[in-house]
Structure 1
Amino acid sequence: MRPLALLLIFSLNVYAACQQKEGTTPAPAVSTPTPPTSPKEYTFSDTPTWQDEFEYSGKPDPAKWGYELGGSGWGNNELQNYTNNLENAQVKDGHLVITARKETSGNRQFSSARLLTKGKGDFLYGKIEVKAKLPTGVGTWPAIWMLASDSNYGTQYWPDNGEIDIMEHVGFDQNNVHANIHTKAFNHSIGTNKGNNIIVPTASTEFHVYSCEWKPDYMAFAVDGKEYFRFERNSGYNWTQWPFDRKQFLLLNIAVGGNWGGQKGVDENIFPQSMIVDYVRVYELVEKK
Structure 2
Amino acid sequence: MAKFKLAFEENFDYTGKPNPDIWTYQVGPKWANNEKQCYVDFDDNCYVKDGALHIIATKTNDLGCPYYSSRLMTKDKKHFQYGRFVVRAKMPQGRGSWPAVWFLGTTKEHRWPAMGEIDLLEYAGNRPNQVTCAIHTETYNHKIDTHKGSTYPMTDLAGEFHDYILEWTPEHLSFQVDYHEILKVEKQPGDTFKEWPFDQPYYMIVNLAVGGWYAGDIQDADLPFHFEVAFIRHFELIEA
Give the corresponding residue for 2:155: 201
Asked if residue 230 in structure 1 is aligned to residue 184 in structure 2, the reply is yes
Asked if residue 92 in structure 1 is aligned to residue 83 in structure 2, the reply is no
The one of 210, 215, 229 aligned to 1:277: 229
Name stretches of at least 5 consecutive residues in structure 2 with no aligned partner. Answer: none
Asked if residue 51 in structure 1 is aligned to residue 9 in structure 2, the reply is yes
Secondary structure of the structure 2 residue equivalent to 1:145: strand
Structure 1 residue 105 displacement after superposition: 5.0
Letter in 1 for 2:86: E
Count residues with an aligned counterpart: 240
Whole-Å separation in 1 of the counterparts to 2:168 and 2:61 = 39
RMSD: 1.3
- Say if 1:145 and 1:163, in contact at 8 Å, map to a contact too: yes
Secondary structure of the structure 2 residue equivalent to 1:284: strand
- Say if 1:71 and 1:106, in contact at 8 Å, map to a contact too: no
| Alignment CA distance shift 1:106-1:163 (3 Å) | farther
Whole-Å separation in 1 of the counterparts to 2:108 and 2:194 = 13
Q: Deviations over 1:207-243 (max 9, x none)?
A: 0000100000100000011111000000111111101
Whole-Å separation in 1 of the counterparts to 2:219 and 2:37 = 14
Q: Report 1:238-249 matches (<5 A).
A: 238-249=192-203
Asked if residue 112 in structure 1 is aligned to residue 76 in structure 2, the reply is no
- Say if 1:127 and 1:282, in contact at 8 Å, map to a contact too: yes
Whole-Å separation in 2 of the counterparts to 1:85 and 1:194 = 35
Q: TM-score if structure 1 supplies the norm length?
A: 0.81
Asked if residue 140 in structure 1 is aligned to residue 100 in structure 2, the reply is no
Whole-Å separation in 2 of the counterparts to 1:230 and 1:42 = 14
Secondary structure of the structure 2 residue equivalent to 1:201: coil
Give the corresponding residue for 1:3: none
The one of 169, 179, 183 aligned to 1:215: 169
Q: TM-score if structure 2 supplies the norm length?
A: 0.97
Structure 1 residue 150 displacement after superposition: 2.5
Give the corresponding residue for 1:25: none
Letter in 1 for 2:139: A
Name stretches of at least 5 consecutive residues in structure 1 with no aligned partner. Answer: 1-40
Question: Equivalent pairs: percent with the same residue?
Answer: 39
Asked if residue 70 in structure 1 is aligned to residue 28 in structure 2, the reply is yes
Letter in 2 for 1:43: K
Structure of greater relative contact order (alpha carbons < 8 Å, 6+ residues apart): 2
| Alignment CA distance shift 1:105-1:217 (3 Å) | farther
Whole-Å separation in 1 of the counterparts to 2:94 and 2:193 = 38
Whole-Å separation in 1 of the counterparts to 2:38 and 2:61 = 9
**Whose strand fraction is larger, Structure 1's or Structure 2's?**
2
Give the corresponding residue for 1:121: 78
- Say if 1:126 and 1:213, in contact at 8 Å, map to a contact too: yes
Asked if residue 256 in structure 1 is aligned to residue 194 in structure 2, the reply is no
Structure 1 residue 104 displacement after superposition: 3.7
Give the corresponding residue for 1:164: 118
Give the corresponding residue for 2:144: 190
Secondary structure of the structure 1 residue equivalent to 2:213: coil
